[in-house]
Chain A
């Protein structure tokens, strides 16, 4: 897997992306946006920030799905309903998200 394209310091997780903000310079930004997602709750602005390194990692992982990291986060926490073709992805994200509750 390629290294992140940003030049942040090692361990310097103080660079944070705010979910919902425009991130034009990020990897994979120009791929098609998934229009089929259904937003259940417009809580985008209330979402917490993500470390830049995690956002980069998630972007690479989601490259083939057409989703952006903000959407993945909303799907994971159940605020966004994905299109049927991404059902397997949403199940994995949601199970991972809720696994902390069963620990």
Chain B
């Protein structure tokens, strides 16, 4: 709840000063690359597409609207460009147009670029697509209720952008990326580059049967999911390196500020938190920096004072939350040192090597994702969580429970907790039987 009050404080300030106030210190988006802004209204034959880049503005309607994108130089032959849209629905609409276009037509190249934009848009922090409304919401807070931030018109009004067309979107994109880029975000630009080169190579290969319009096969879907998840994790991790975001998250408990109260051994440190809300659960990898959340270093930019894993948490009789960090690597941490603790930063290089390993495994002949037969579901016994050791064997309650408990669960006693997912079907089928 207190994070909502933090936001409210920002909203009240914005309203009092009649200007947006910063939600983040850094730009949460990459600088647009040769941007092209697109707006679409209507559907079918009445579709109206307006597009603009820094030089030209075009308007087209009907199924051939994509041809105007080609006129703006949106083709596979040029380098990749940033698509600027007011909200995600525009890209979905554009993708519909692209999928409906004739693959043999002159618009095929522009349609393929739209397909690439749609793929990259699922990766938070990408420089390929700039959703102006989402970007502005990540950069500023308005002096209005939160739902107003979903309207691009509100952002135009608050930021003084008068052009309601695609040129206005370009102005908003420039404004939102005007300050220094969030440190570390350029790793995602590198991913964009790799994705673009790979996409162009596949589409341009005349011998390849691959068609971007078709659904992904199992292997592509699995790798795509890993790529999207990695981008989401990386972006969230980088955002915590923004001092304002870290300050905000200190009210949600994702980032916590604490005092070192005990150093039981070289690799264990006990800390006492200022407040009780803490989302750092046991086994979470964490790192800590000296000072308050507003002093937190950008992700991977500095060596943390403390690095370790949450080993235990407890609340003292004085209602203070004490967190024990185990497996800790400490760098000259004195008692009473104030430290801000956050989840450990994600390393994009590790993510990339992890995906390469996944790629290698999925390409192996034995992997069922790469084309083999799907594995046969196996039944395994699970430990029943409902049995009570305090009931004696001849207890009438136990007898009654035995009579009503499915046979497979009754027989269970050895499987680890990790088998829970596979055992769900067991429980269902056993109950039906």
Contact = CB atoms under 8 A, between A and B. Distances in A.
Nearest to B275: A88
A72 B382 CA distance: 53
Interface in A50-98: 50-51, 53-54, 56-58, 61, 72-73, 76-77, 88-89, 91-98
A99 interface: yes
Contact of B6 (A72, A92, A103): A92
A48 B15 contact: yes
B8 A61 contact: yes
Size bin of chain B's contact surface: 35 or more
Contacts of A7: none
A13 B157 CA distance: 10
Interface in A20-71: 47-48, 50-51, 53-54, 56-58, 61
Interface string B81-95: 000000000000000
B144 A99 contact: no
Contacts, number: 114
A43 to B, nearest CB: 12
Contacts of A13: 144, 148, 154
A47 to B, nearest CB: 7
Contacts of B354: none
Given A58-B12, A93-B9, A99 B2 contact: no
A53 B145 contact: yes
A79 to B, nearest CB: 12
Residue in B6, B9, B16, B243 whose Cβ sees the most chain A Cβ within 10 Å:
B9
A46 B292 CA distance: 33
Interface in B1-30: 2-18, 21-22, 24-25
A88 B249 CA distance: 15
A73 B9 CA distance: 8
Contact of A99 (B3, B9, B143, B145): B9
Contact of A95 (B17, B146, B247): B247
B251 A95 contact: yes
B255 interface: no
Contact of A77 (B6, B16, B151, B294): B16
A54 B144 CA distance: 5
Given A103-B21, A103-B25, A96 B148 contact: no
Contacts of B244: 99, 102-103
Contact of B8 (A11, A96, A98): A96
B248 to A, nearest CB: 8
A70 to B, nearest CB: 10
Residue in B16, B17, B21, B157 whose Cβ sees the most chain A Cβ within 10 Å:
B16
B367 interface: no
Contact of A97 (B3, B13, B144): B13
B148 A11 contact: yes
B118 interface: no
Contacts of A89: 2, 5
A50 B7 CA distance: 15
B134 interface: no
Nearest to A86: B5
B21 A100 contact: yes
Residue in A53, A61, A99 whose Cβ sees the most chain B Cβ within 10 Å:
A99
Given A51-B143, A54-B143, 8 more contacts: A4-B145, A48-B18, A54-B11, A73-B16, A92-B8, A93-B5, A93-B9, A97-B9
Interface of A: 4, 10-11, 13, 47-48, 50-51, 53-54, 56-58, 61, 72-73, 76-77, 88-89, 91-100, 102-103
17 contacts: A11-B154, A47-B16, A50-B15, A50-B143, A51-B144, A73-B12, A88-B275, A92-B3, A93-B9, A96-B8, A96-B10, A98-B9, A99-B9, A99-B10, A100-B14, A100-B17, A103-B244
Interface of B: 2-18, 21-22, 24-25, 143-146, 148, 151, 153-154, 157, 243-244, 247-248, 251, 275, 294
